[in-house]
Chain A
Amino acid sequence: MRSFEAINYSLRPNKNVERKLIARILNAIGKNARFDWRDYRYLGLGSMWFVDFILMHKSIGINKLVTIEKEHSRAKRVSFNAPYSCVEVKIGMSTSVLRQLSWENRTIAWLDYDDVLRSYMFDDLNEIIVKSTTGNIVMVSVNAEAAQLNVTENDAIVDPMTVLKGLVNATYIPTDADQRLSKNQFPALPGETMFNFMKSSVLNTATGLDFFPLFNFAYSDGSRMVTYGGMIVDANDEKILKGLSLRSSFEFVAQHGQFEIQVPQLTFKEKLELDKRMPCAVAPKPEDLPFELKPSEIEAYRKFYQDYPMYGEFHP
């Protein structure tokens, strides 16, 4: 990546858009009385920033939120930064905290790891899935850089498939994975692997329950990331979800492939210039703009300009 494209790294516009797309899908589902989010609990990894928590409370209406923080040394800081009184802080490793949680409320769980694939993630997901009832949503975000499989031991390169199998049980790795380890092909793999894992875990855990995919996003604000998730459903809830025909309103609802969010890093002036041309059915041509952008960037902006964040410095 060219350095000026990375300037906004910490601000992560693509991640920001992703959150809003997730909120759009949740709000569409929430129109059905069966999924009244106000009765739900949100379970996440809020860190210091709680961005997803604010979204879940303000835009989705959830009033019971739980954050898991692994660093004991940051316990006070996390509690201090919790934005609402309805946010409960649990300190400990996610796997052990999940084991102790009660599961009375239906839950939206988003394990938004910023880590590369690790085997504990599947333990965490499994812990959530085996406790889940119909209507629960489970999501996971994970680093999807192919380079995470590059490992050397004593100056010898370890076969990347061996590394992958050390992180994920081979049972969930797509059978053609060895052909898909390049930088650009790899991000689809964690998505499919998560599908295989979640669907298999649900089907193996409880009779009468199935897994309904909703989210499969790839995005990059410097590092490639993937978010995968869906709802655990019984036959009735599955019928309701199918009846909503989400796919016809939202092209980014998970179906077969992965949806890539790739909005460009824009300056304030560039954003205003583009906004003057929105909405539009066809994206402006690069040559019609007073600055350089790739056609794919303009198209991505056209699709998501309403969700595009703008950041500024302010002095409180």
Chain B
Amino acid sequence: MPAKLKAAGNPSKGFFIRMITRDISLTDCMLDLLDNSVDGINRLKHGVSNGNGNASRYTGFDVKIKFAERSFSISDNCGGIPIKIAQEYAFRFGRPDDVIEDSGQSIGLYGIGMKRAMFKMGKGINLVTSTGQESFSLDIDVDKWRDREPETDWDFDLTDVKRSGTDVAAGTTITIHKLYPGIKRDFETPAFAIDMNHTVERDYAFILQQGLEIRVNDKKAKPIMPSFRESELIAPMKITKKIGDVNIEISAGLATPPPEDESSDANLPDMDVYGWYVVCNDRVVVTADKTALSGWGTPGVGMWHPQYYGFLGVARFDSHSPDLLPWKTTKRDVDPSSTIYKTALLMMKEASAKFIEYTNKRKVELKKAREIERAAPTKSVLQVARRDTMKLPIIATGGMTRICYNKPTADVEAVAKALGMRNASPRAVGIRTFDYVKEKEVE
């Protein structure tokens, strides 16, 4: 009987190194490593987040991220990788199907993040990890590993293996050197470091709030929590729903009083704060979205406009089974085809529409609206009370006319100066000129 002919179907290591690193940004890779640290804590705790910002869940744990021209490192005290897990799947490309979910509310999903991050950055990788009892190291020379024969040998060698009584402190440290030129350049760029810091403060806000300490190049990250104005007269909505094993919580309302001048060329700082946030297992995956992804510009809701400045919405999804959550592999995007997300989106759109209606109405009694908005204290999304619909100031419509016009910038500045209104918005200048004429010329 003739031997069966076979066509080789196994992947090449070089292909993997090139491809898995291609569609993800450097920042997201770094955040993947941070996710691993958080999962380490969850593995230790075997607990469940109560979703209310339990201030102690991550207390006592810290992660230090450092990067510079020559190297990157991330170092945590979050439990380390047990030898058994390392042997069986931690370093495999993709998590095998039979791995039992061991980490409570995991944010690691596909078993790809760590390898992808390491291969993205450089050619020299060193990992030291300890559970407090057992420890090992792992060194990867990426070129050697790629060229090693046979091609089907994808394993990594564990070294310095201690099966008990290790003196390495519990935690994991990953160091990457021989950085690729593009990565080196990013690490040297001041704006990259500032953005990274900001991203951690925003995307890990819910996790930082629960006690985790993260330092980026020695600077301690402070959570930037989505917050709302809440008082007797104005308050966000906050509703919850459970679909299968997924808990959904949607909050939406006013974060900041809308601007004086909402024209398209107005100078509106912090515009990137407003819009919809999507949070999966405490990890912020979409920030300040103003696109169709969160319903803007789809039937029933207008396109985002600077007039809606000040609007904030937070859609949270929590589950013990992370694969049920509507996130994509990079954890920086939502899968709009997810049925869970589609259900949530209906509620989100309703909230946006209600807010839009309010921003139109409030112009009629701007002064009253502004006073109510300003007087309301700011509360984090975790603190605001449950409420089925947004509470908004009641505006009596009628008897008012809106005036809107364009004038040369230089003239507006000159008029502002003459009125002693340096740094004032054009809108305020316009109103003042009207009042001025009324005061001087109208009986």
Q: Mark A residues whose CB is within 8 Å of B.
A: 119, 151, 153-154, 156, 162-166, 170-176, 195-197, 199-200, 203-204, 207, 210
A93 to B198, CA, bound (A): 34
Residues of A within 8 A of B370 (CB): 154
Contact A200 B191 (CB under 8 A): yes
Contact B423 A200 (CB under 8 A): no
Q: How far is the CB of A212 from chain B (nearest CB, A)?
A: 13
Contact B428 A153 (CB under 8 A): yes
Residues of A within 8 A of B269 (CB): 162-166
* Contact pattern, B 402-431, Cβ under 8 Å of A = 1, otherwise 0: 000000000000000000000111001000
A170 to B193, CA, bound (A): 12
Contact B428 A174 (CB under 8 A): no
Residues of B within 8 A of A163 (CB): 269
Residues of B within 8 A of A172 (CB): 190-191, 194
Contact A154 B428 (CB under 8 A): yes
Q: Which of B194, B267, B272 contacts A196 (CB 8 A)?
A: B194
Closest to A200 in B: B191
A197 to B190, CA, bound (A): 8
Contact A174 B194 (CB under 8 A): yes
Residues of B within 8 A of A154 (CB): 260, 370, 428
Contact B191 A196 (CB under 8 A): yes
Residues of A within 8 A of B342 (CB): none
Contact A151 B423 (CB under 8 A): yes
Sorted nearest first, the 3 A-B pairs with minimum C-beta distance are A166-B269, A200-B191, A196-B190
Contact A171 B188 (CB under 8 A): no
A200 to B260, CA, bound (A): 33
Residues of A within 8 A of B185 (CB): 203, 207
Closest to A173 in B: B194
Q: How far is the CB of B187 from chain A (nearest CB, A)?
A: 10
Residues of B within 8 A of A174 (CB): 194
Sample 15 A-B pairs with CB under 8 A, ordered by A number: A153-B260, A153-B428, A154-B260, A154-B370, A154-B428, A162-B269, A171-B194, A174-B194, A176-B219, A195-B190, A197-B191, A200-B192, A203-B188, A203-B189, A207-B181
Residues of A within 8 A of B267 (CB): 119, 166
Residues of B within 8 A of A200 (CB): 189-192
Q: How far is the CB of B414 from chain A (nearest CB, A)?
A: 13
* Contact pattern, B 307-347, Cβ under 8 Å of A = 1, otherwise 0: 00000000000000000000000000000000000000000
A sample of 8 more A-B contacts (CB under 8 A), given A170-B272, A207-B185, is: A151-B423, A165-B269, A165-B270, A171-B191, A172-B190, A174-B194, A175-B197, A175-B198
Contact B191 A153 (CB under 8 A): no
Residues of B within 8 A of A203 (CB): 185, 188-189
Confirm or deny: B195 has a beta carbon within 8 angstroms of a beta carbon on chain A: yes
A163 to B270, CA, bound (A): 9
Residues of B within 8 A of A176 (CB): 219
Contact B197 A199 (CB under 8 A): no
Residues of A within 8 A of B189 (CB): 199-200, 203-204
Q: How far is the CB of B289 from chain A (nearest CB, A)?
A: 18
Residues of B within 8 A of A175 (CB): 194, 197-198, 219
Most buried by A among B181, B188, B191: B191
Closest to A118 in B: B267
A200 to B190, CA, bound (A): 6
Q: Which of A153, A162, A196, A197 contacts B270 (CB 8 A)?
A: A162
Closest to B217 in A: A175
Q: How far is the CB of B351 from chain A (nearest CB, A)?
A: 25
Residues of A within 8 A of B425 (CB): 153
Confirm or deny: B268 has a beta carbon within 8 angstroms of a beta carbon on chain A: yes
Confirm or deny: B374 has a beta carbon within 8 angstroms of a beta carbon on chain A: yes
Closest to B182 in A: A207
Q: How far is the CB of A145 from chain B (nearest CB, A)?
A: 13
| Chain B 189-248 interface residues, beta-carbon cutoff 8 Å to A | 189-192, 194-195, 197-198, 219
Contact A153-B424, Cβ < 8 Å, known A119-B267, A175-B219: yes
Residues of B within 8 A of A199 (CB): 188-190
Residues of A within 8 A of B190 (CB): 172, 195-196, 199-200
A173 to B195, CA, bound (A): 10
Residues of B within 8 A of A119 (CB): 267
Residues of B within 8 A of A173 (CB): 194
A151 to B267, CA, bound (A): 13
A116 to B189, CA, bound (A): 26
Residues of A within 8 A of B181 (CB): 207
A176 to B220, CA, bound (A): 10
Residues of A within 8 A of B428 (CB): 153-154
Residues of A within 8 A of B272 (CB): 170
Closest to A149 in B: B423
Q: How far is the CB of B208 from chain A (nearest CB, A)?
A: 15
* Contact pattern, B 256-288, Cβ under 8 Å of A = 1, otherwise 0: 000010000001111010000000000000000
A166 to B272, CA, bound (A): 11
Closest to B197 in A: A175
A297 to B250, CA, bound (A): 61
Q: How far is the CB of A53 from chain B (nearest CB, A)?
A: 26
Closest to B366 in A: A154
A204 to B185, CA, bound (A): 8
Q: How far is the CB of B353 from chain A (nearest CB, A)?
A: 28
A172 to B189, CA, bound (A): 10
Closest to A198 in B: B190
A55 to B424, CA, bound (A): 38
Q: How far is the CB of A160 from chain B (nearest CB, A)?
A: 11
Q: How far is the CB of A121 from chain B (nearest CB, A)?
A: 14
Closest to A71 in B: B410
Q: How far is the CB of B64 from chain A (nearest CB, A)?
A: 16
A196 to B268, CA, bound (A): 22
Residues of B within 8 A of A162 (CB): 269-270
Closest to B219 in A: A175
A91 to B150, CA, bound (A): 70
A203 to B69, CA, bound (A): 13
A286 to B74, CA, bound (A): 54
A196 to B425, CA, bound (A): 28
Residues of A within 8 A of B197 (CB): 175
A200 to B195, CA, bound (A): 12
Q: How far is the CB of A229 from chain B (nearest CB, A)?
A: 16
A210 to B439, CA, bound (A): 59
Q: How far is the CB of B200 from chain A (nearest CB, A)?
A: 11
Contact A166 B268 (CB under 8 A): yes
Q: Which of B195, B219, B260, B424 contacts A171 (CB 8 A)?
A: B195
A20 to B272, CA, bound (A): 43
Closest to B195 in A: A171
A154 to B432, CA, bound (A): 11
Q: How far is the CB of B364 from chain A (nearest CB, A)?
A: 16
Q: How far is the CB of B288 from chain A (nearest CB, A)?
A: 13
A195 to B370, CA, bound (A): 39
A143 to B214, CA, bound (A): 36
Q: How far is the CB of B408 from chain A (nearest CB, A)?
A: 13
